[in-house]
Amino acid sequence: MAEHDVIELLVAQHGRIRDLFDEVEQAPPDKVGEAFERLTRLLSVHETAEEEIVHPYARRKLDNGQGVVADRLAEENKAKRLLLDLHKAGVDDARFWEGLAELRTAVTAHARSEERYEFAKLRARTSVAERRTMAAAVRAAESMAPTRPHPGTESMTKNVLMGTPMAVMDRARDMIRKALGKR
């Protein structure tokens, strides 16, 4: 996927996150762990990209940007906490499916709020060139989160892929800041 507009790219990621929840829920028992890892990686990279790239813009450019972004960050932090707890407990935990359902509800509501209250307004307040620059930074981090099993990239980024969600978020943040020329 090579969207050049950051909003289209992030909305496409919302769609893929939804598909990955479906894949975890529908996976045969021996594939649940792998599917959940892919979901975890994309969620970690996606939310980090929004926090580093899109929210700072929205904070500056939207009417009541501070308030809009504060609400989104509160939702993101809640989802992140649920993800970290669920990842720590693991797919064999007795309450895994309950936790997954709770995470899905939080993530879905959050994505809907972003699209409605943040992205739509941001589109009106940014230029095509700005959205293209932001998309490039999101794509730099996205390479860490293959959503399909892919032997080639697996070996290349093995250390990252095996990491905890926190490690993936840290690494994504570094890649994004580098892409934005911040370090």
CB atoms within 10 A of CB 86: 22
The letter for the amino acid at 175 is M
Q: How far is the CB of 47 from Fe ion (least distance, A)?
A: 5
Please provide the size of the chain in residues. 183
Q: How far is the CB of 48 from Fe ion (least distance, A)?
A: 9
| Minimum CB distance to Fe ion smaller for 87 or for 110 | 110
Q: How far is the CB of 58 from Fe ion (least distance, A)?
A: 11
Q: What is the Cα–Cα distance from 164 to 143, expressed in whole angstroms? A: 17
| Minimum CB distance to Fe ion smaller for 52 or for 114 | 114
| Minimum CB distance to Fe ion smaller for 91 or for 106 | 106
| Minimum CB distance to Fe ion smaller for 10 or for 86 | 10
Please list, in sequence order, all residues whose beta carbon lies within 8 angstroms of the beta carbon of residue 75, skipping any fewer than 6 positions away.
Answer: 106, 109, 110, 113
* Site residues, Fe ion (CB under 5 A): 47, 50, 76, 114
Please list, in sequence order, all residues whose beta carbon lies within 8 angstroms of the beta carbon of residue 55, skipping any fewer than 6 positions away.
Answer: 69, 72, 73, 118
Q: How far is the CB of 160 from Fe ion (least distance, A)?
A: 21
